[in-house]
């Protein structure tokens, strides 16, 4: 049995790695097709009406798909956790297929969504089919779903340890002690495939074990700075859009998705016209900022921060299909970089890219309630104690301060027809 489990884990990792690579490349292909090339270069040359038309038509089509199967709207990770709890796969192959289509359309048309949900679903479905192929006992369904989801996430993040930490905190925490070996095996193999085709997020300025004490004061100042932006994000989502959804549109619940699709298409179109970098998932922004590939003015950074916060919250309410991991990371990276530039303005000798790396991990970790994943992400992308220690301290304290006023939960429900709406 152990031999069969090892072989099953290897096969799951291999197939997941290739499927996730295809999914990521499909998003890139459709993006280039919709915008007739690299969107950051072509959008300024395209007609204004076309820039508004692409995201609007895309989100209306996504909402049409969602209307046919409500499960497509869910974020994927929570579905995998529920599958494990029920000891059966609750996502059908048909639902997963349309989830991938809806996610691809959402991301490629400019909506600010991530890829972790569909990726977890792809890996879990592959593992579930392998479980059936090998005719494993029913008691191993939970383990195989966990292994598959972990390998899918490891491949899409191109970060094996971060992928495992994410899966553990979201999905496999109940089974980690018993099945950690197979989870590691599948994750490492899926990562090995993905890294040959996809770009990882890598920090090029690591000082490793050298700890710079001059950053301690700056890190303490950064905690209230990023907390203020967490409050802004939550205020916009919970206090403004949630109010619009449940109060202003309560008499138009039948047309709710159409109204938010129009708002979403118009918002994303406007963002694309103002600054294309403020749209899409945000992976390019994270890599650019943590490695300071281009110097950005403080005014531009603050503009993009506001646009991405608005875009991310609108994308959720417009029913864009995807996760929040990368969009939240990109906002955090921008906040951190802006903080570093502010300190440099006042002659404090810090590097903005350090705070970009810290901000990316902290903002995601706080809003997705993934503190362990945040610390592991900081470690795996930077291998720098200055970033890892600051992330660990900040993610805990910012979470505490944020929860004084907001109740942050992992589940995101924004439909007005829910009787009991979970708060974020």
**The predicted structure's pLDDT at residue 175:** 55
Q: Report how far residue 90's alpha carbon sits from residue 125's, in angstroms, rounded to the nearest whole number.
A: 10
Q: What is the pLDDT of residues 384-408, one digit of tens each?
A: 888 888 898 899 999 989 888 877 6
- pLDDT higher at 75 or 120: 120
**The predicted structure's pLDDT at residue 420:** 36
Residue 154 pLDDT grade (very low, low, confident, very high; cuts 50, 70, 90): confident
- pLDDT higher at 263 or 90: 263
For a pLDDT cut of 90, what percent of the chain falls above it? 23
Helix, strand, coil shares of the chain, percent, nearest 5, are 75, 0, 25
**Is the pLDDT assigned to residue 124 strictly greater than 60?**
yes
Residue 287 pLDDT grade (very low, low, confident, very high; cuts 50, 70, 90): confident
Equal CATH topology for 2-194 and 215-402: yes
**Is the pLDDT assigned to residue 176 strictly greater than 70?**
no
Q: Report how far residue 265's alpha carbon sits from residue 251's, in angstroms, rounded to the nearest whole number.
A: 22
Mean local confidence (pLDDT), 239-260: 70
Residue 335 pLDDT grade (very low, low, confident, very high; cuts 50, 70, 90): very high
Annotated domain spans of the chain? 2-194, 215-402
Residue 261 pLDDT grade (very low, low, confident, very high; cuts 50, 70, 90): confident
C-alpha distances out from residue 146 to 114, 174, 181, 224, Å: 20, 10, 12, 36
Sign of CA dihedral 107, 113, 114, 115: negative
For a pLDDT cut of 70, what percent of the chain falls above it? 85
**The predicted structure's pLDDT at residue 265:** 92
**Is the pLDDT assigned to residue 264 strictly greater than 50?**
yes
Question: End-to-end CA distance of the chain, in Å?
Answer: 43
Topology given in CATH for the domain delimited by 2-194? Clc chloride channel (1.10.3080)
**Is the pLDDT assigned to residue 381 strictly greater than 60?**
yes
**The predicted structure's pLDDT at residue 76:** 58
Topology given in CATH for the domain delimited by 215-402? Clc chloride channel (1.10.3080)
Average pLDDT over the chain reads 82
**The predicted structure's pLDDT at residue 418:** 40
**The predicted structure's pLDDT at residue 284:** 81
217-231: b (≥16 Cβ within 10 Å) or e: ebbeebbebbbebbe
Q: Report how far residue 358's alpha carbon sits from residue 327's, in angstroms, rounded to the nearest whole number.
A: 15
CB 142 within 8 A of CB 87: yes
Q: Report how far residue 408's alpha carbon sits from residue 167's, in angstroms, rounded to the nearest whole number.
A: 19
**Is the pLDDT assigned to residue 413 strictly greater than 60?**
no
**The predicted structure's pLDDT at residue 398:** 92
**Is the pLDDT assigned to residue 25 strictly greater than 70?**
yes
**The predicted structure's pLDDT at residue 99:** 87
**The predicted structure's pLDDT at residue 157:** 82
Mean local confidence (pLDDT), 255-273: 87
For 146, the enclosing helix (H) or strand (E) is: helix 141-157
């Amino acid at each position: 049995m152990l031999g069969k489990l090892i072989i099953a884990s290897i096969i799951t990792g291999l197939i997941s790695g290739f499927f996730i690579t295809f999914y990521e490349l499909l998003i890139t292909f459709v993006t280039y097709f919709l915008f007739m090339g690299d969107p950051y270069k072509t959008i300024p040359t395209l007609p204004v009406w076309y820039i508004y038309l692409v995201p609007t038509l895309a989100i209306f089509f996504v909402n049409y798909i969602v209307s046919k199967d409500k499960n497509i709207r869910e974020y994927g990770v929570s579905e995998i956790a529920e599958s494990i709890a029920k000891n059966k796969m609750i996502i059908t192959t048909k639902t997963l297929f349309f989830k991938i289509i809806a996610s691809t359309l959402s991301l490629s048309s400019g909506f600010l969504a991530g890829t972790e949900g569909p990726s977890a679903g792809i890996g879990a479905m592959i593992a579930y089919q392998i479980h059936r192929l090998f005719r494993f006992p029913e008691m191993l369904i939970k383990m195989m779903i966990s292994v598959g989801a972990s390998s899918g996430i490891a491949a899409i993040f191109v970060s094996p340890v971060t992928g495992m930490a994410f899966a553990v905190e979201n999905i496999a925490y109940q089974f980690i002690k018993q099945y950690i070996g197979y989870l590691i095996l599948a994750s490492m193999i899926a990562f090995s495939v993905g890294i040959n085709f996809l770009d990882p997020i890598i920090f090029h300025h690591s000082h490793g074990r050298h700890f710079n004490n001059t950053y301690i004061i700056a890190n303490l100042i950064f905690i209230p700075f990023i907390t203020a932006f967490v409050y802004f994000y939550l205020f916009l989502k919970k206090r403004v859009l949630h109010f619009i959804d449940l109060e202003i549109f309560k008499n138009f619940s039948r047309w709710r998705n159409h109204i938010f699709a129009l708002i979403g298409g118009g918002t994303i179109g406007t963002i694309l016209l103002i600054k294309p970098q403020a749209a899409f998932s945000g992976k390019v922004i994270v890599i650019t900022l943590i490695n300071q590939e281009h110097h950005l003015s403080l005014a531009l950074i603050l503009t993009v921060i506001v646009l991405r916060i608005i875009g991310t919250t609108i994308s959720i309410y417009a029913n864009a299909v995807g996760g929040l991991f990368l969009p939240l990371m990109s906002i955090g990276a921008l906040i951190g970089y802006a903080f570093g530039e502010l300190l440099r303005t006042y002659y404090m000798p810090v590097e903005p890219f350090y705070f970009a790396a810290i901000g990316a991990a902290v903002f995601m970790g706080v809003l997705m309630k993934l503190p362990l994943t945040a610390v592991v992400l900081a470690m795996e992308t930077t291998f720098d104690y200055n970033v890892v220690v600051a992330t660990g301290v900040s993610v805990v304290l910012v979470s505490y301060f944020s929860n004084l006023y907001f109740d942050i939960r992992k589940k995101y429900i924004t439909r007005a027809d829910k009787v009991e709406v979970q708060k974020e």
